[in-house]
Amino acid sequence: MVTHTVSKKKILLVDDEPALTRMLRLNLEQTGRFEVREENRGTNALRAARDFRPDLIFLDVMMPDIGGDEVAEQLKQDPELRKIKYAFLTAIVTKRETGTGAAEISGETFLAKPVKRDELLAVVDELLAE
């Protein structure tokens, strides 16, 4: 169990909806394979990332203070953070466009809300395996 804990991958969830980040966290943590942190203010995303050093970040595209795409842009500009993988959560891109699981749109990965637990885990595994 100890070795397991050590190799846990870290995932940062950025969405302005606390209930959603909580549900995502519970589902991810329930697998026992991930360490998860929630951030409900887009503008805090960068600081949280520097703090937490995640392997993967989920970004809500539409947040009231800052867009997920802008956060992604800042991540890419930051020499320390630019290696971190990220994916967008979106309510606008439909499942028809993403299919089930994630879709690549102009080089970015999108997950359509409402995402199902199975889809979520599949996408996480895929992104972390790269």
Partner 1 sequence: MSDAPDRPAPAPTAAPAAAPDSANPPCVLLVDDIPANLRVLYESLNGRDYRLLVANGGAQALDIAERSRPDLILLDIMMPDMDGFEVCRRLKENADTADIAVVFLSALDDAADKIHGLELGAVDYVTKPFHPDEVAARVETHCKILRLERELGQRNRQLELVRDRILHSMVEGVVGLDVEGRVSFFNPAAERMLGQAAARLLTHEIANWEPAPLRDTAITVLAERREVSVDELALPQADGSTLPVELRAAPIADADYPAGAVLVLRDLSERRRVEAKLHRTSSELSRSHRELRAAQMQLVQAAKLESVGRLAAGVAHEVKNPLAIVQLGLDFLEQVISFDEISTQVLADMQQALSRADTVVRGLLDFSRERELDLRPYAVNKAIRNSLQLVRHELTQRNIAVRTELDVDIPDRPFDADKLQQVFLNLFMNAMHAMERDGTLSIRSDYAPVTAADLGPHARDAGFLPGEHVIRIAIEDTGPGIAPADLGRLFDPYFTTKRQGEGTGLGLSVTRNIVTLHGGSIDLENRPDGGARALLLFPPQNAPADTAPQQAESVAIGHAHPPSATQW
Q: How far is the CB of 39 from partner 1 (least distance, A)?
A: 16
| Span of 32-40, 49-57, 80-88, 113-121 interacting with partner 1 by CB under 8 A | 113-121
Q: What is the residue-wise DSSP string for the chain?
A: -HHHHHT-EEEEEE-S-HHHHHHHHHHHHHTTSEEEEEE--GGGHHHHHHHH--SEEEEES--SSS-HHHHHHHHHH-TTTTTSEEEEEESSS-HHHH-SSEEEETTEEEEESSPPHHHHHHHHHHHHH-
> How many residues of this chain interact with partner 1, rule: CB under 8 A?
21
From residue 29 to residue 68, the character string flagging contacts with partner 1 as x (rule: CB under 8 A) and all else as - is -x-------------------------------x------
Q: How far is the CB of 73 from partner 1 (least distance, A)?
A: 21
From residue 93 to residue 112, the character string flagging contacts with partner 1 as x (rule: CB under 8 A) and all else as - is -xxx----------------
- Per CB under 8 A, does 120 bind partner 1? yes
